[in-house]
Amino acid sequence: MPIRMSTAFVVMLIVAVPLVESCGPEARDDRSSARLAAFTDSITVPETPENTYDAATGDISPWWDHSMSETPSRLFIEPRPGGGFIELFNEDGDGALHATVIVAERGKRLRFEGPLGLSGMAVTVVTTYDFRPLGSDSTVLTYTVRMSGELPEGLPDVVRTTWHHFMGERFRSYIESGRHRESAR
């Protein structure tokens, strides 16, 4: 079967090939650090899925301890599609949008997309929290982090360790201590 090329495709080749060949080494496509990484971990907390979801959203400053500003004025997640994972540096409104919420189902799922602490790198991070009841008074919170883009060697392991710090240490402790109930008032 003969191969047929459209006129537009042939014209594109005639124009594009000399352009690519004329690029010097300073214009080369260097994808040496472009890669994919993903991990999933779970924690179990003594709280309902709805209350666990509420504690993981809204004001997260009691348990989220990494920020761009040394002393952020506010750190919160707006649990609605299009909502932000926002850090305000001061009362003037200076700050950072760390991620945008793309799925919000109270007590079931929260998904947000954004670079989080990797702002400034050519990276996309999609984070999902899934909330599953365990008995009548506990929740299994499964968090999945998928990354693509500029991920230097070793960075995925650092990110996974950081997420374990947030969820397995800080968030779990926040729930187990009952401090999330004080914040809900």
Among 153, 154, 106, 98, smallest CA distance to 129 is for 106
Residue 42 has pLDDT above 90, yes or no: yes
Mean pLDDT score, 139-165: 95
Give dist(CA 108, CA 48) in Å, integer: 11
> Strand 138-150 relative to strand 123-134: parallel, antiparallel, unpaired?
antiparallel
pLDDT of residue 8: 41
Query: pLDDT (tens digit, 9 = 90+) per residue, 77-124?
Result: 999 999 999 999 999 999 999 999 999 999 999 999 999 989 889 999
The domain locations on the chain are 33-183
Q: Which residues contact 97 (CB under 8 A, 6 or more apart)?
A: 84, 85, 86, 114
pLDDT of residue 30: 53
Q: Which residues contact 129 (CB under 8 A, 6 or more apart)?
A: 53, 56, 109, 110, 111, 141, 142, 143
Query: pLDDT (tens digit, 9 = 90+) per residue, 155-165?
Result: 999 999 999 99
Q: Which residues contact 63 (CB under 8 A, 6 or more apart)?
A: 55, 166, 170, 171, 173, 174
Tokens of 75: 């750190």
What class is the 33-183 domain? alpha beta
Burial 76-98 (b: 16+ CB within 10 A, else e): bbbbeeebbbbbbbeeeeebbeb
Query: pLDDT (tens digit, 9 = 90+) per residue, 49-82?
Result: 999 999 999 999 999 998 888 889 999 999 999 9
pLDDT of residue 23: 46
Among 129, 144, 132, smallest CA distance to 44 is for 132
SS3 assignment, position 64? coil
Burial group, residue 45, by CB count within 10 angstroms (0-12, 13-18, 19+): buried
Residue 24 has pLDDT above 70, yes or no: no
Q: Which residues contact 50 (CB under 8 A, 6 or more apart)?
A: 106, 107
Query: pLDDT (tens digit, 9 = 90+) per residue, 172-185?
Result: 999 999 999 987 65
CA distances from 168 to 33, 81, 104, 171 (A): 29, 26, 22, 6
pLDDT of residue 34: 85
Give dist(CA 37, CA 57) in Å, integer: 25
pLDDT of residue 183: 72
Residue type, 121: M
